Amino acid sequence: MISGSRGAWQWIVWESQFLSDLVAAFPGVVCGRHVAITAFDSGRFLPTPDLTKRGWSYALGVAYSPPVEHRIDLPVHQYDEWYAFRSPSRIGYPEVFVNYGGFRLDCADREPERREMVERFWRQLESLQPESYLAEGDYLIFVTRNPVLFGDALLWKPPRPEERSPSDSGKKPFLRKR
């Protein structure tokens, strides 16, 4: 685990962890929030007709949830990217960072050639102003302006692979993607 901060933002990067484990441990990251899904299994998430009836929408490549009641209301696969807002928000057509191989927030220090990509990420986050950003790609990334959520996540002891039951891969079946 590596953590840091930038302005009002605090962030954590974990290796070999699942987004589903993070939201299971801290459902407050998404519950009561409106979530914009910019990547689902590296692609776009297209809400099913049933989800649309329950308040989901889709515009410009982004799926938008109604206020999340329970963490399992969100589709989880791999190479997922979410922005969590306290109120409904439209974010246009953002750059999707989770699909860049090896993307992590500290890579600008270790890999100068990635500095501009990390700077684009921070500019986009400042522009969109979510409460939290969550992504699972090559790494699990959590960024938030909420100090309580950050403090809880910083103390999180993720399950080790051998602690997961064979039936719990940390994933839930995907619903539909475009």
Q: What are 55's two structure tokens?
A: 């308040």
pLDDT in the model for residue 114: 83
pLDDT in the model for residue 9: 97
DSSP-derived secondary structure letter, 5: E
pLDDT in the model for residue 167: 42
The answer for residues whose C-beta is within 8 angstroms of residue 11's C-beta and 6 or more apart is 3, 4, 5, 105, 141, 142, 143, 144
Phi, psi of 148 (to 5 degrees): -70, -50
Q: What are 148's two structure tokens?
A: 């309580």
pLDDT in the model for residue 108: 64
Helix-, strand-, coil-residue percentages of the chain, each rounded to 5 = 30, 25, 45
Query: Considering the entire predicted model, what is its pTM?
Result: 0.88
Nearest Cα neighbor of 82 from 19, 154, 157, 146 is 19
pLDDT in the model for residue 164: 61
The beta strand positions in 43-89, using DSSP E, are 57-59, 62-64, 80-85
Domain boundaries, the chain: 2-163
pLDDT in the model for residue 172: 43
Task: Enumerate the β-bridge partners of residue 136.
Answer: 80, 140
Between CA 84 and CA 37 the distance in angstroms is 9
Between CA 97 and CA 175 the distance in angstroms is 22
Consecutive 10-residue averages of pLDDT for the chain (178 residues): 95 91 92 96 95 96 95 88 96 94 81 86 97 96 96 87 54 41
Task: Enumerate the β-bridge partners of residue 49.
Answer: none
